[in-house]
Every structure is written in structure tokens, then in C-alpha cells.
Amino acid sequence: MDDAELASGYPYISADVRTVELEISARLTSKGQVTIPSPVRKALGLHDGDRVVFRVDGDRAVLARTPDLLSLAGSISVPAAVRGAPWSDVIEEAHRVRALRRR
């Protein structure tokens, strides 16, 4: 049975998953800095100026790319009643709600 046949019986498993396993060490400098090795940068598609996030879980840390904000555009639905509202109104409402929560 190949991966596609196995995955077809389980809706939460995808046959299109690609795994690249790298285990590369790097040295921590006296300033607490680490240079991300080139193979890791290539595997994550990192370029100069990109931001990364470190997630600490117990005694290990995971390095991940931060999502591109433009790729998130449209991922949150906006209620029809407020679509097209001027940003000044949106910001004013956010300040009002925040002030109410602080009380």
C-alpha cells in the first residue's frame, strides 16, 4: 500500500507531506548569537531581513519562519456590516473596546 492509498482512508493525513530532516549544529557566541547554517536557511526559505520565531518546548527550541502578513490577508472574515469602514472608525472602535475592558 503506497502513501496515497494509506492517506485516503484518513481525512486528516495528507499524502502530499514532504519531510526534510536536517540536524546541523551551530556554536553560540559570547553575545548569545547563533548563525543559522545555510542548509537550514535554504530549507526554510529564509533570506536577509526575514524574521524568525523561536518556540521553546521543555529543553528544546524550534526555529520557524514568521508568516508573511500579506499571505494572511483575507484569512479573517469581516462582518458585512463593517466592510469598507474607514480605518479611523476601526481604530476608534478598537480604542473604545479596549478602554471598556480595562475598567
DSSP 83: T
Residue type, 66: T
pLDDT at 12 > cutoff 60: no
Per-residue pLDDT tens digits for 41-93: 998 899 999 889 898 989 988 888 887 777 667 777 888 877 888 989 888 98
HEC profile of 3-60: HHHHHHCCCCCCCCCCCCCCCCCCCCCCCCCCCCCHHHHHHHCCCCCCCEEEEEECCE
What domains can you pick out in the chain, each with its CATH number?
3-69 (2.10.260.10)
Provide the 10 A C-beta neighbour count for residue 40. Answer: 15
pTM: 0.48
Q: What is the pLDDT of residue 23?
A: 86
* Structure confidence at residue 78 (pLDDT): 80
Give whole-number Cα distances, 12 to 5, 9, 75, 93, 102, in Å.
Answer: 13, 9, 21, 39, 41
- Could you tell me the pLDDT band of residue 36, with boundaries at 50, 70 and 90? very high
Dist CA 42 CA 50 (whole Å):
12
Q: How confident is the model at residue 16 (pLDDT cuts 50, 70, 90)?
A: low
Q: Is the pLDDT of residue 19 over 70?
A: no
